[in-house]
Structure 1
Amino acid sequence: MKKIISFVLAAAMSLSTLPVLADWNNDEDIMSLLSELNIMVGDDDGNLRLDDNVSRAEFAKIAVASSSYKDTVATGLKVSPFKDVTYTHWSAPYIKAAVSAGIAEGYVDSTFRPDNTVSYEEALTMVLKVLGYTTQDFGDSWPYGQMGLANSLEITKNVNAEQGEALTRRQVARLIYNTLDTKIKDNQSKLITSVFDSKVIEGVTIIASHNEDSSLGIDKIYTTAGTFEFDGNFNSDYVGRKGDIVVKNDEDFVSFTPRDQQVEEYTVSNVIGSDIILDGDMYNINSNTTTYYKSQALTYENAAMQAEKGDTFKLFKNSNGSVDYAMLVAKDSETGTDSFDKYVIYSLLSDAVICYKNGSFEQIDITDGTTCYKDKNKSTYGAVKNEMAMGDILYVKMDGSNVDYVSYEKGNMEGPVKVTNSNWIANFDTNGSTTVMRSGNKVDASEIQLNDIIYYCKDLNMVLAYTDKVTGVYEKASPTKDSPTSVTISGKEYSVESVDAFNALSSSGTFKYGDTVTLLLGRNGEVAGVVGGSDSTSSHTTVGFVTETGKKDFTNPDNTVYSSYYAKVVTPDGTVNEYATSSDCSSLKCAVVNVSFTNGKASLSRAKGYDSVSGKFNSEKNKFGDYTLADDVKILDTAGTASDDLAMYTRIYPQRLDGVTIKSSSVLYYSKNKAGEIDELILKDITGDAYKYGVITAVDSTTHTYTIDIDGTQNTYATAFSTNVKGPHRFSMNQTGIESMRQLSSYPSNITSLTRTEAKINNQTYLLSDKVIVYHKTDVNKYLKITLDDAINGNYKLTAYYDKAQTLGGRIRIIIAQ
């Protein structure tokens, strides 16, 4: 091996992003590109058959596949396009498309002669028409006008054919390749860019694949022009090479043609200071020579700091023998695509990830300290996991049964898109096996509704529809209304996610401060769409429970202040909406109302009476009395009936009401879906879950002050109540203190058996509230909150306190341990 005694630092590389196709001489490279663009492919056995002749029918198909009409081919024809091309002939749809597009013509005898070989001049005429040229551009001198124009456009370059010659697949491939590299008539874009959204970037060096840098995804390559994704196999011999790369949609790798380079490969024998010993020899390498290591561009001097014995060191020289750059490849790259598993993130748990792979879900247990690569930077899973979302990609390397390390990258999530019509699915490249999820439930595509916000995850092949909405008064845009990145609606700030929402809420949009608007929230709780308050739901009138009314001041963009009445209404799904109202609605507080709109202002009216409904809940059969509940039924339990009462509410689920008998007088509102199932239900004080529960620890009857402990927090309040009873109570708490309170009842006997969900007393089983509070009573007036596990495992005498009978919706609220 010749010893290298000097190196010349290559000039800084500049990348041309012009869509200019390289002058490729390798037929296989050309066919690779045409196959990737779905223009010409090999036979079923993968043979290119480059020396076979091409028929007129085959060339018509190739010409259409190269043109802007490639998506107009209609299969299932019922009419024959020519008398010698029946509608059952394989080529009939392509010939029909070619003729309709003006690319091909038949003969005067109404035949097409599909099996005849295509001649040189016939092929030139068709590709010129693909580029937009017509008979007027050719003149009347057939075929010399066509051949002259094709020669001037350099479409015939390296085709090596003559007039009248039958073309082979090799010549056709070169002809189509040249055509792709030609500008469309009266257009500055070349055919490959205009039709296939592809371009060629010249002088690109492929720096790394996953094999050289484990932080890259298995289907990613890192180059001097950026990171690209490939589909299928990638030739690892390309790594380190400089050449011309074809990319599609600015992100997908299509093909690569390496330039002529001299590549010299060495093994690192040792590292001494800033010098790398190569195959036992020390070479005089300029310390500033660009040296690629993993996905980094270093100097040779810095690369020496990374090199270890056994690594591979490559030198890349240009045609005149000068060194362009070098590459260091670690001997033990944390790689090997066979050692990595690719997963799509579906859901995140505290110390695990639910992932999707090959049609099934798996749980991967990952600790926060696990090494995690992101954007080629080494970090930990704990530092990165908050950035992860459904549809993102996780590469996992196992060490036996444990996770060794992971690599994370953002997934291919399309959207958000606001549903405005029934043809919403046309926005995405879905197929018959695409799963549609709406609010976490698997549904049919027909169940997607207007104003749903949808995304499409290609890796999951799943459409995700989100239905969360919030209605309120538009108060502020930040940083300005001209350019809002977030908006304040009824005192709460929301980030703006989509262009659609940005336009609607900006100065040029339809909404102004003080308007009642409905925000359509996407998968991260950000604003993905906006509609007027009256459009908050697509299926029926907005109905809810009024929790607050009043009047407040609003500030216009010009800083003028105006006052407006408002009302807060909670819908059966637990969402609180605030509306600017046209009048004072204080008399409707604690009432169930219909909400309608006029000129952006809400009008509230008491909800109409409905047929009475009553009966016993059976969550297993999904029934309420004689009625069936919808799978996604929304139930709101409320407390407060008069306009001067404290309005309280809680969202509950059918399981919470299992076995509870409800009278019709306790049903304030219900609605049915198209299937006749109850889909919304508002109840009057059935569960008691809207209240607070705690203990009174001290009473001063003179000043009417009470010290109470709620969930371990003690406060003293002055009230108008008069009681000397201490211990467990139920409370209604307003912003300043106690609105009302009621003593809880105790079971006469102690708890004999306790679990996390139930207590056994005198051989009877009673359910615990999911928010049961346990106090250790250490003295007459001293209560110390302890955990439920402490009570289960400790040696205590346990007394249970409840609010009402279990069959009426009651639960054990407090347990006293002594």
Structure 2
Amino acid sequence: MKRRITTFLLAVCMTVSLLAVPAGAASGATVTFSDIGDRSTAMAVESLRLLGVLDGYGDGTFRPGTVLNRAQFCKMAVYAMNGSSELSRYRTVTIFPDVKPSHWAAAYINMAAKGKDIISGYADGRFHPDRTVTVGQAVTILMRMLGYKDEDIGGIWPDSYMAEAATVGLTEGVSTNGSAGLTRAQAARLFLNLLRTPTKEGGTTFASTLGQTVQGVLLSSDTEGGEGRLRLSTGTYTLTEGKASNGMLNGMKGTLIVDSKSGRALTFVPEDLGSSKTVVLASAKATEMTDTSGNTYTVKSDTQVFQNGEASSWGEAYTWLNAGTSVTLYLDAAGNVDYVFVGGGGNATSAVIVYEKGSTAGFASLAGGATGYTIYKNGVRASSGDMRKYDVATYSAVTNSIRVSDTRITGYYEDCSPNPSEPSKITVLGHEFNVLPSAMQTVSKFRPGDQITLLLTEDNQVAGAVEATGTTASGNAIGIAEVSSGSATVNLLCGIQVKGSVKLSASDVERLNGQLVRVSSSKKDGLSLTRLTGGVSGDLDVENGKLGSRELAENVIIFQNDGSGLTAISLSQITEAKVPSSQITYAGTDWADRVKVIVLNSVTGSGYIFGRAHYTANYDEEGNRVGNAQLSVEYGEGKTTATFETGYVVRNGDIVGITIVTAGNTQRIGSLIYPDELRNVPNAAWSGKGAVTVNGRTYTVPASLPCYNRETREWVTLTEARAYADSATLYVHQGVVRFLEVG
């Protein structure tokens, strides 16, 4: 027999807790809760808090495990329907004898029962507002809000409603025990699911019934003039009065709900994506990225990328992403990269500067009372003992982590806006930096024309400023230089680009272009560049992760000089077990004396073109060689480099590797090497097409290996070469076979 379905709604009558108020905020203050450790729950709570459906207690807690009563859930449902403006007409109505007009929830209960027809009382005619609301009762009410009626469901209550709710996705992440009491955390998840769920009529989600909807990625949250704002990839929207986001939803793709009458944003509903992962970038290519742990992620060229508030595609953005950049990958349910968010998870709005080694003073207040946060320094898991003077800490609500940066920029104070006493922007090294409100006190001590050291957050905002000399906060900005005789652009490893004029000779341009440099400035619009060489000495032990006696940092950044400049590689791409110190041009350390940056000569060979030399020397009438020779390299059927003048001496037919350097509109040979020659390697030494073992050592074989038949003077495939002869001559470099000859 079908049980009578009892439906009802309840809500929260609580004091709003305004915590972690950023500078400049008035009524629009951000709120975080100290007792929510689960990120999914925290995101649900934040989305529903902005909508006004729920809130926390005056002591800064949310109390996620507290069970709700009927009256409380009723109030929640009314706000979820955006029905608060209609409450006045239901305040003096008496529908249930135990809910008189004097009851605090009378208007909500009456409106839900009479105005929205989504609840009814018990068999005794009463509502019993103080009784615990069960999961089954709550689900029934929300299904009614979606347009379902008893005749649509049928079966035994509440099982029938629970089953249908599961089918449409309403109960995802919530207990399936319909008779259990509903907790505050479960209510948050249910209401977030409600906003995402299509109504019974289909075609639109419940969110679209509350106002206009805008799809996009939430890039940042801030306050302006005391009012909270949400900046989407599609535009910037002001929140309802008195509301401001805590940043928990930054970086998420989802739906913004805009009130049709006021034009203000009601809330942001994040999509239920598979997962997210924040990594430190080692290298980026057209179809993939590699993190500093050697993990590779396939990224389609049209995958969306969001950086510095701008949207682009991976195909457009990847060449601008520097090694060492913090990148958040948002993965879909299948584990594929859905979109990329550059940065640790939202723009910082406040920061704490560390003034004593090992100190975490101010971190707890920075997190707004949130507990269980993780500390990361320069993208790597850290502890309090890793903190150093002038480090800068910010809080990411997206990942519940304290993000610590030790990036410092030293240079000439060029300009500011609006004025030196209250600067919101400051220009140093030709780059305009955003100044956090909390940094104005220290930055205002300086004036244009001064030498200054800026202390930067992880997202390159100014958290403070100190004297450029006489402190321990000297600049540490390094990056890859692009130079000419009169100007330079440096892509810093911290993720920003600086520009300025330089005065360089032709030899200096050749020495610095494409190389790792330290940058500073002593005059307006000018840059000073110093190429980084030396540093830590010793061989690089790839297998054991050491350089000399020092450990490699977890996020070590490795560059190889392929003759035309520096290319970022991961440790896993180095085929040699050890790289001798003679191949290391620079190695620098981090705060813990671990090796953080390494510059190598080419160790993967990827920058070289290997092939057969075509060489012509010039001679005078007496047979003396004069001037430069001409050299080109043939490396496949119809594949030959341009012919270059060169001072190198080679023989026609020699197997060589060359790099090609581009300077302006001209090209030249950067370097030339002879790969190691292994003669008479039998076919039996091969382990399939990908590897060959000679004298106990196994060499990697690339799929694009150039193969040449000397007798027929033809380019052939590897299969054809093996069929033609029982043995071959291999030319190897850095553990990889680069060229093969038979005949």
Confirm or deny a common fold (TM above 0.5).
Answer: no
Does 1 or 2 have the higher relative contact order (CA < 8 Å, sep 6+)? 2
Higher relative strand content:
1
TM (norm. structure 2) is 0.45
TM (norm. structure 1) is 0.41
Question: Which has the larger Rg?
Answer: 1
